[in-house]
């Protein structure tokens, strides 16, 4: 295996391009069934990250990033994984504008994103709220909830990787005022997506195949509900390429779900479930991953090569993961012209 990784790693390094030296969750919760595939994904957004800058709050609220970091530090590993997923789910719907945090409000957003099927299992809201309250006490009306979500995603990455993933996150986002549950399924990649659909959904956000494979490594932490993968990945499915022994273990863990009891959860990475590392890619290669969307990375020559590179070089993957997180953090950001700085992350500001 090591020799194969080395050879393939050498062959596809060119796919990845130069790596810059920056200072460097969990289950989908779709339940049973398959959402209607998006046949016409939205067009790529305009230039990502326009107006964002590193150290944005240095002269506005100097302690903002430290406050968020301490709030994330206090969370357990599962919640940290949830914060990473929260950032992803925020940016893929309406852009990185904290729209995923908005609670049901009959006056503005009666059916917000958090009520969308893929978001029902999101975690970490209480960490964002705690960070926001602490920041508001220090610097009222200055720090956006969108930036807090982005900082929390960065900090969760650092803590879960033991500090190995350590990148700077530009800031300056404003908070959105629109949040629609019916926009979640068309925009968030489902666990049963094939590689063609994955590429298209990431491309619609201005993210390329390298970004997509790098960010897939987030599946090395967190847990998933059995209902997110059992119907198409476990026996009696005859289309799954999952390792039979691994499938049997999962089937036993999910047994009560099949009997109509609680929807069990299992770890996404059976080897290092609380570490954000490149073990995920080795699991993909050995056919010991939960989702069809994970297994799909072996079905295309370019994604297969990138998987082997990530499995071979943890450092290279860590750098690419940090770059992809920053790039994702620039998707369709709001400005003062179409956003606001919310006083409370769960509600738009009222006059």
Q: Are 174 and 340 in contact (CB under 8 A)?
A: yes
For 89, 91, 278, 328, the CA distances from 48, given in Å and listed in that order, are 17, 11, 27, 8
From residue 194, how far is each of 21, 33, 132 by CA, in Å? 32, 16, 38
Structure tokens at 98: 């904290």
Structure tokens at 91: 């940016």
Helix 77-91, helix 145-160: angle, nearest 10: 130
Q: Which residues are documented as binding site?
A: 90, 93, 95, 97, 99, 113, 189, 219, 269, 272, 277
Residue 252: Cβ within 10 Å count = 9
Which residues define the annotated binding site for heme b?
219
Catalytic annotation, pick one of 80, 85, 89, 334: 89
Q: Distance from CA of residue 169 to its chain's centroid?
A: 15
Residue 225 CA to residue 279 CA, distance in Å, equals 20
Residue 225 is among the residues annotated as catalytic for this protein: no
**Could you please report the per-residue DSSP string of 134-192?**
HHHHHSTTTS-HHHHHHHHHHHHHHHHTTTSS-----B--BB-S---GGGHHHHSPPTT
Residue 274 main-chain phi, psi, to 5 deg = -110, 15
Q: Which two tokens stand for residue 134?
A: 């602490």
Annotated binding site for substrate: 189
Spacing of C-alpha 295 from chain mean position: 17
From the annotation, which residues make up the binding site for Ca(2+)?
Answer: 90, 93, 95, 97, 99, 113, 269, 272, 277
**Among residues 345, 348, 347, 350, which one has the least CA distance to residue 126?**
345
* CA separation, residue 72 to residues 78, 119, 328 (Å): 11, 20, 20
> Catalytic positions, please?
89
């Amino acid at each position: 295996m090591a020799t194969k990784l080395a050879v393939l790693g050498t062959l596809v390094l060119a796919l990845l391009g130069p790596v810059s030296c920056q200072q460097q969750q969990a289950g989908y919760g779709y339940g049973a069934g398959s959402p209607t595939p998006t046949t016409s994904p939205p067009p790529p957004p305009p230039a990502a990250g326009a107006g964002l800058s590193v150290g944005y709050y240095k002269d506005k609220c100097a302690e903002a990033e430290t406050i968020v970091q301490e709030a994330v530090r206090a969370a357990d590993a599962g919640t940290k994984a949830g914060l990473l997923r929260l950032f992803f789910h925020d940016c893929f719907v309406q852009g990185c504008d904290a729209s995923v945090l908005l609670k049901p409000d009959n006056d503005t957003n009666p059916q917000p994103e958090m009520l969308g099927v893929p978001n029902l299992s999101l975690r970490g809201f209480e960490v964002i709220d705690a960070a926001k309250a602490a920041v508001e006490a220090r610097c009222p009306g200055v720090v956006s909830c969108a930036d807090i979500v982005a900082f929390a995603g960065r900090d969760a990455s650092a803590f879960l990787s033991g500090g190995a993933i350590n990148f700077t996150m530009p800031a300056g986002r404003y908070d959105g005022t629109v949040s629609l549950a019916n926009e979640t399924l068309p925009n968030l990649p489902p666990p049963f997506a094939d590689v063609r659909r994955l590429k298209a959904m990431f491309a619609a956000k201005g993210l390329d195949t390298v970004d997509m494979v790098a960010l897939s490594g987030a599946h090395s932490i967190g847990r998933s509900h059995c209902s997110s993968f059992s119907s198409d990945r476990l026996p009696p499915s005859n289309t799954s390429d999952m390792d039979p022994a691994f499938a049997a273990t999962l089937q036993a863990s999910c047994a009560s779900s099949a009997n109509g009891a609680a929807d069990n959860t299992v770890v996404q990475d059976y080897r290092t479930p609380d570490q954000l590392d490149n073990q995920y890619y080795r699991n993909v290669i050995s056919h010991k991953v939960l989702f069809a969307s994970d297994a799909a990375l072996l079905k295309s020559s370019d994604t297969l090569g990138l998987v082997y590179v990530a499995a071979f070089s943890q450092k290279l993957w860590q750098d690419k993961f940090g770059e992809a997180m920053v790039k994702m953090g620039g998707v369709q950001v709001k400005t003062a012209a179409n956003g606001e700085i919310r006083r409370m992350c769960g509600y738009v500001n009222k006059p």
